[in-house]
Structure 1
Amino acid sequence: MFLIGFPLLIIPLAIYNMIVFLTPGVLWTDKVATVAMPSQSEWPITFGDVVIAIALFLLFVEGLKASRAAGKPMLDHFLSMLVFLAALAEFLLVKEAATSTFAVITAICLVDLAEGLAISGRAARHRRTIERLEAQAPGQ
């Protein structure tokens, strides 16, 4: 699978940076679309909403990657840590990244890191339990 070893949450960070630095003047509160709701109200979808939705979808995919049996979990954890640290540093040090949208993306990166560590930790405990039970099985 080509996604192994590639931190997908780089994508929303890259989209954010491309919008901020290549199209100055675009606000995260600018409407991308408006959806008419059954309640007769309108739901404005902003640039920030779209980027956060992309990040949440990619967080789900990262969770699927973390739960696979094979792969390189240490590499994935290391890359997730780098992505989170880069996002945190950018949020704290770059004026254009000091927005709620970027803060939410950074929080999503932190959740990805914690999720990957928790899932791989549980998988390792599960493997050890199975190995112990197999070693104790009589007559095999």
Structure 2
Amino acid sequence: MLIALPLLLIPVVLYNIVILFGATGGGGMAEADAILRDPLFSVPMTSGANWNVGVGDLILFLSLILLFFELLKSTSSQKVAIVNHALSLIVFVVCLVEFLLIRGFATSTFFLILAMVMLDVLAGFIVTIIAARKDLDFGGA
């Protein structure tokens, strides 16, 4: 049943931990942006520039990887996939509420995570509908 859990819940939880527990003050926008953008490490590039990688960048990178696996999972027609779609929809609603109502979540990083969760929900439902339609077509022949 663990396979039914949406993988994009991981970056959402990580973002919540970083913002809610990493903010020492009131958790305002400036502090949230600083936490996400402050470089964890820097990579020297061949051009002579330094590529600064922050917490927000790492969370987004993880989100993209997990979105790929979520899209692969959405192509399965198992009964677990329907539970996964429903849980993904719940994660989307929670993310949307956080983005709109909680200070510190109205950042570009969280918006992109929200967009990935929304794409996961849409892709899951669309793939399920198309697969069900194909099953119906084959059944009628």
What runs of 5+ residues in structure 2 fail to find an aligned partner? 25-33
What runs of 5+ residues in structure 1 fail to find an aligned partner? 134-140
Partner of 1:117: 125
Counterpart residue type for residue 12 of structure 1: P
CA shift in 2, pair 1:37/1:129, >3 Å: farther
Partner of 2:134: 126
Structure 1 vs Structure 2 CA RMSD:
1.7
Q: Distance in 1 between matches of 2:130 and 2:47?
A: 44
The answer as to 2:15 corresponding to 1:16 is yes
Of the candidates 96, 104, 108, which is equivalent to residue 112 of structure 2? Answer: 104
Q: Distance in 2 between matches of 1:40 and 1:122?
A: 49
Q: Deviations over 1:88-126 (max 9, x none)?
A: 000111002111111111111111101101111121122
Q: TM-score, normalised by structure 2?
A: 0.85
Q: Distance in 1 between matches of 2:2 and 2:84?
A: 13
Q: Distance in 2 between matches of 1:6 and 1:92?
A: 24
Partner of 1:137: none
Q: How far 1:130 sits from its partner (Å)?
A: 2.2
The answer as to 2:58 corresponding to 1:50 is yes
SS of equivalent residue, structure 1 residue 35: strand
Identical residues among aligned pairs (%)? 33
User: Rg: which structure is higher?
Assistant: 1
SS of equivalent residue, structure 1 residue 102: helix
CA shift in 2, pair 1:39/1:129, >3 Å: farther
Q: TM-score, normalised by structure 1?
A: 0.85
Where is the helix percentage greater, Structure 1 or Structure 2? Answer: 2
The answer as to 2:76 corresponding to 1:76 is no
Mean Cα deviation higher: 23-32 or 119-128: 23-32
Within 5 Å, which residues of 2 pair with 1:28-39?
Answer: 28-39=36-47
Q: How far 1:38 sits from its partner (Å)?
A: 3.0
Aligned residues: 132
Q: How far 1:61 sits from its partner (Å)?
A: 1.0
Mean Cα deviation higher: 90-99 or 25-34: 25-34
